[in-house]
Every structure is written in structure tokens, then in C-alpha cells.
Amino acid sequence: MRLLLAFVLLLISTLVFVNCAPFRNSPFSDQLFHPERDLNIAAIKRIQNVEADGKIRIAIYSDPHQNYKDMDATVTQINKATDIDFIVSLGDFTNSGYNFEYDQYLDTYVLLKHPVVSVIGNHDAIGAGLHIFEKVFGPTSFWFESDTKRFIFFNAVNLEDPKGFSPSWLKETIDSSSKPVFIFAHTSLRDKERYTGDTAQIFSDIIANPKVQMIFNGHNHVYGLNRDGDTVMLQSPRVEGVQWLIVEIQGSQVTITKQHTGESVGETLKN
């Protein structure tokens, strides 16, 4: 009798726990365990007095998908840096846009102490991933300004989100700026496999635009720095091996430091 009673109590407890536990009906749905919403909007509101000392310091990381342990270590390192104004995530924090991948990434993301602004990656826009990104982070293309710069975050994933991909929006946002422009996108605007014809020409014009000083991308997983005409083009490596960058802008000078090696390189921005 006692054994039967114990079994019944265990069954009741299990049913109560199951009924109260969070539930997702499918990994392909847009349901999340994490409650955070509009994270980019919230981050931008936290970015205050960016140029108080005449410098802007940005931490950059990219492509944490398949590298979640290294992402954890990267977050630990970034949190130890006290002189960062804001962080930019250059996308691909999931493999297939599944809700559990977003939740796993957010487990680490919420530990970052500095404001984090995120762009959407091609992997993040697969299936329900696009809707999840918009729910969690907000619009996929947007911008904000400091005292002397305009920072544009562009949805460059034309194949995965053709409706949200708008080169004309990017051009108009640059043209409307009275300040020098910095562009952040997951893929390079020179990606010949993605951008052809009129789109490639618009991007060529954007890169050559006198206002556009520097363009950032991830996607290709390796570090790259070059000049396209007079525009500085910086490609962030993936976080594998705890690779991330600090970009310091002061006047017409920019310094890029690889945090896993300590190596720094300087570039002069076009006037």
C-alpha cells in the first residue's frame, strides 16, 4: 500500500512539473524560452557619451555558430575590457535558425556587460530564424549616430531574406547622413557569388562614396583587412580560438587589434 501511494505521489509530481515546464512545440517554430525582446533597440539606448574622450572603441566578434565554448571564453574576455563603448556581433550565431540555437546563443549573450548591437547572418535567417531575429533583436536594418559618426547595420542576406534586403535603403541612409559613415554587415559587399548586376553596381558606388569610411563583415571566418579604393574594409574572424577584435577610432585614425595575438595595425580613414 505504501509503495502504491509513493508511486501515485511521484506520478502526480511528474505531471505537475511537466505541465509547468516551458514547452516548445517544434525546433522549427519561433517559440523561445528566453523572454528578451528588441535587444538592439535596448543596446542603442545604453550607448551614451561614446566620444567623451575623443575616441570610439568597438569590440567585434562574428560567427559563433559551432563555436559556443569559444563564444563563452570570448564573452569572458570582453567583459574584462573596461574601455569598450559598445560591441558589434556580425551574425551567424545559429546554424539553421532553430529556436533552441537562438536560446543557446542568448544564454551567453545576456552575460555581456557592454551594449551589444547585432546584424543578421545568413544562417540566422533560415526558416523561422528570420522571425525569431526580428522578435528578439528588432529590425534587420537600422542605424544610430554618435556625435561625429553614423553607424549603419545592414541586412545583407539577399538569398535568405530577399524581402528584407534593400540596397536602396542602404544608399538612402548613407545619402541622408551629414556625418562619416561606418557600415556593418554579415557578408562582404564585394561578395561576387551573392551580388551581381545592378546590386553589385550599387554596392560599388556605396564603397566609393566619400562619406563611407569603413565597412565591416564576417561570414568568411578568417581575418582580413584591405582598402577598396580609399575605404577601409575589415573582415572579422569567427570566434573559434577566442578570436575577436577591438577597433579604436580617433579622428581620421583607426587601430585594429587582434585580441588572440595582441597584434595591432593602423589605418588612415578618408576625409
DSSP letters for 129-156 = HHHHHHHHT--SSEEEE-SS-EEEEE--
Helix 68-80 and helix 99-109, axial crossing angle in degrees, nearest 10: 30
Which residue is associated with the grid cell 509503495? 3
The alpha carbon of residue 230 and the mean position of all alpha carbons in its chain are separated, in whole angstroms, by 25
The residue among 146, 166, 147 whose CA lies nearest residue 156 is: 166
Please give the CATH topology (third level) of the domain spanning 34-268: Purple Acid Phosphatase; chain A, domain 2 (3.60.21)
Count H helices and E strands in the chain, helices first: 7, 12
Q: Structure pTM? A: 0.91
Extract the C-alpha cell encoding 52.
567623451
Q: Which pLDDT score, from 0 to 100, does residue 242 have?
A: 98
Q: What is the pLDDT along the chain (271 residues), one digit of tens a residue?
A: 544 444 433 443 433 333 444 556 799 999 999 999 999 999 999 998 899 999 999 999 999 998 999 999 999 999 999 899 999 999 999 999 999 999 999 999 999 999 999 999 999 999 999 999 999 999 999 999 999 999 999 999 999 999 999 999 999 999 999 999 999 999 999 999 999 999 999 999 999 999 999 999 999 999 999 999 999 999 999 999 999 999 999 999 999 999 999 999 999 999 8
The grid cell for 265 is: 595595425
Contact 120, 155 (CB under 8 A): yes
End-to-end CA distance of the chain: 86
Task: Confirm if 248 and 242 have CB atoms less than 8 A apart.
Answer: no
Q: In Å, what is the CA distance from 242 to each residue of 89, 149, 253, 265?
A: 14, 29, 26, 19
pLDDT of amino acid 24 = 64
The set of long-range contacts for 48-55, using a CB threshold of 8 Å and a minimum separation of 24, is 50/85, 50/86, 50/146, 50/147, 51/146, 51/147, 51/148, 54/250, 54/251, 55/248, 55/249, 55/250
Q: Say which residues have a Cβ less than 8 Å from residue 18's Cβ, sequence separation at least 6.
A: none
The cell 545619402 sits on which residue? 175
Residue appearing with cell numbers 545583407: 156
Q: What is the pLDDT of residue 30?
A: 94
Give whole-number Cα distances, 70 to 74, 124, 214, in Å.
6, 19, 27
The Cα 173–Cα 137 span in angstroms is 20
